[in-house]
Amino acid sequence: MPQAPMPELTSSVKLKYVKLGYQYLVNHFLSFLLIPIMAIGAVELLRMGPEEILNVWNSLEFDLVQVLCTSFFVIFISTVYFMSKPRTIYLVDYSCYKPPVTCRVPFATFMEHSRLILKDKPKSVEFQMRILERSGLGEETSLPPAIHYIPPTPTMDAARSEAQLVIFTAMDDLFKKTGLKPKDVDILIVNCSLFSPTPSLSAMVINKYKLRSNIKSVNLSGMGCSAGLISVDLARDLLQVHPNSNAIIVSTEIITPNYYQGNERAMLLPNCLFRMGAAAILMSNRRSDRWRAKYKLSHLVRTHRGSDDKSFYCVYEQEDKEGHVGINLSKDLMAIAGEALKANITTIGPLVLPASEQLLFLLSLIGRKIFNPKLKPYIPDFKLAFEHFCIHAGGRAVIDELQKNLQLSGEHVEASRMTLHRFGNTSSSSLWYELSYIESKGRMRRGDRVWQIAFGSGFKCNSAVWKCNRTIKTPKDGPWSDCIDRYPVFIPEVVKL
């Protein structure tokens, strides 16, 4: 018996070394090619000696005009290259909102309120309990003050005060951290999907902080949980056009007006998962920020599956039979998310994967197209392209699905799971809480690449790739500062309520 596993072990170890060797060979192919050539050239030069080199040089018969033209040509080409290179976009710093302890929602409180409000619908209460048990949320997630009332009081005033509370607190913190003065903000982008008052939330921010009158402000609403990365994309485009500028992005989701007050089961699901949160991010294209910026934006890929009807209708806001407005999540949500992810990966893969993986993928594609359609498609190993993953904490199922599809280990998805546990689904800002988790754990080193993936209604899959610009020390304050030592926690499959 001890003999049988040994050959397997040795063969898997051998396979690992073969894989490693292959990766080194393909990824550093050019080096493997150039180094021998340069070595031979150097040996030749040394062999020839200085007088022979001078003779070869004189025999080439350069004259002044030729030299000048060549140098101008070289300078011209390099100028064109540097001018047309897209500006480097830096993420200087960001700040996540930490709700006060009075907004905490323990499981028992949530279920008690649910029972008191839905007292005629025990089946709906049961359903909510089952969702909460399996949700992956912890006992420290927060709901806005208006939702703690029995019954909830989701007035417009309450929604505005939630918006003011979360956005202004996050922005105050960001100004303090970066030392930025409000009058120096050039671009402001606020995204909040489900609350869009007049004047807009971006106007509210401009009013509060007395921002400049020639500020370029944009307010994005209705774009779902992936709106955070859409804002980053917009900021990037604006920063390409405007030199020497900075941009503030505020990502949030205002829960107060969207708490579903009916009892349709599929629409009660968001009540169990969505929680209060916000993030404020400072981006810049200034050269002077390159020393203090935390990250550089490498790639941003947006994929929209709206052209497919099933994807379009899978997250749909509608009225139920009694006229209460809520968000209906279809049962095919996971499958559709998988499709959207595949579309996104197909675009981002060639941009980020090392040559070894791309070659293997190409070979497997050729194999499937030409030789045998039944060959299993090769799933590239994204762990080689990224050190850290931030998967939108949309729910436990989303994280499980992505972990399976991308073959990620527990540690890779730890940031997402722990953010879901501590803060719940904070919609577009969840990616920033996850990034903050990784930093708080002291895992972010210079040169590390981070992949942020967000899904949103529509159905959209957006991903952003950041490269860490400097090793980040564990932040002293931040949303995780008082609880990071307790994490990671073990989250059971079902919490007994």
Partner 1 sequence: MGIAQENRVEVKSMLTAVSSKPSRSARVHPFTALDNAMSPHTLHVIVYYPRSPFGSFDLDSVRISLSELLSMYPPVVGRVAKTPDGILEVKCNDAGLRTLKAKVCVGIDEWLRSADGHDESDLTAWGDMPEDPSTWAPFRLQINEFQGGGVAIGLSCPHRQADATTLTVLLKSWTEAQRRRCIVHPPSFSPLPSILTDDTDAVKPNSATISKPISTKTATATFRFSSSSFKKYIEEDGIFPKASPFDVFAALFWTRVALVKRKSHDRVCMCVDFRRLLPNPLPYGFFGNALNFSSLEMTNVADQGIVHVARLINDHVTNLTVEKIRSDLNRVGEQELMYGGDLTIVNMEHMIVEGDPMMYEAVFEDGVRPVHVSYRIGNVGGEGVIMVMPSPEKGFGRVVSVTLPEEEVSKLLVDQEILRFEPKIILSGVK
What number of residues does the chain have? 497
DSSP state of 353: S
Closest to partner 1 by CB, 418 or 450: 418
For the CB of residue 164, give the shortest distance to partner 1 in the complex, in Å.
10
Closest to partner 1 by CB, 64 or 150: 150
Closest to partner 1 by CB, 145 or 380: 145
For the CB of residue 452, give the shortest distance to partner 1 in the complex, in Å.
29
For the CB of residue 279, give the shortest distance to partner 1 in the complex, in Å.
20
**Spatial CA neighbour of 470 closest among 294, 265, 270:** 294
Q: 324 an active-site residue?
A: no
Q: 299 an active-site residue?
A: no
Query: Residues 304, 461, 462, 468: which is the catalytic one?
Result: 304
Query: Residues 192, 271, 421, 462: which is the catalytic one?
Result: 421
Query: Residues 388, 462, 468, 469: which is the catalytic one?
Result: 388
Return the axis-axis angle of helices 414-423 and 396-405, rounded to nearest 10°. 180
Closest to partner 1 by CB, 99 or 224: 99
Closest to partner 1 by CB, 153 or 405: 153
Those residues with Cβ within 8 angstroms of residue 440's Cβ, 6 or more apart along the chain or in another chain = 474, 475, 478, 480, 481, 484
What residues form DSSP beta bridges with 452? 390, 464
Query: Residues 392, 412, 461, 462: which is the catalytic one?
Result: 392
Q: How far apart are CA 351 and CA 344, in angstroms?
A: 11
Q: 328 an active-site residue?
A: no
Phi-psi category of 457—alpha, beta or left, where left has phi over 0 and alpha has psi -120 to 50? beta
SS (H, E, C) 79-108: HHHHHHCCCCCEEEEEEECCCCHHHECCHH
Residue matched to tokens 């089961």: 265
Closest to partner 1 by CB, 105 or 300: 105
Residue matched to tokens 């005033």: 157
Q: How far apart are CA 413 and CA 409, in angstroms?
A: 7
For the CB of residue 423, give the shortest distance to partner 1 in the complex, in Å.
14
For the CB of residue 348, give the shortest distance to partner 1 in the complex, in Å.
39
Q: 28 an active-site residue?
A: no
5: which 2 tokens? 């596993």
- Cβ atoms of 431 and 229 closer than 8 Å: yes
- Cβ atoms of 277 and 163 closer than 8 Å: no
Closest to partner 1 by CB, 23 or 169: 169
For the CB of residue 269, give the shortest distance to partner 1 in the complex, in Å.
22
Query: Residues 425, 461, 468, 469: which is the catalytic one?
Result: 425
Query: Residues 96, 225, 272, 390: which is the catalytic one?
Result: 225
Q: 392 an active-site residue?
A: yes
Q: Site residues (CB under 8 A) for partner 1?
A: 100-102, 104-109, 112-113, 115-116, 138-140, 145-146, 148-150, 153, 161, 165
**What's the one-letter identity of residue 307?**
S
Q: 468 an active-site residue?
A: no
Query: Is the alpha carbon torsion for 411, 413, 415, 417 positive or negative?
Result: negative
For the CB of residue 117, give the shortest distance to partner 1 in the complex, in Å.
10
List residues with catalytic annotation: 225, 304, 388, 392, 421, 425
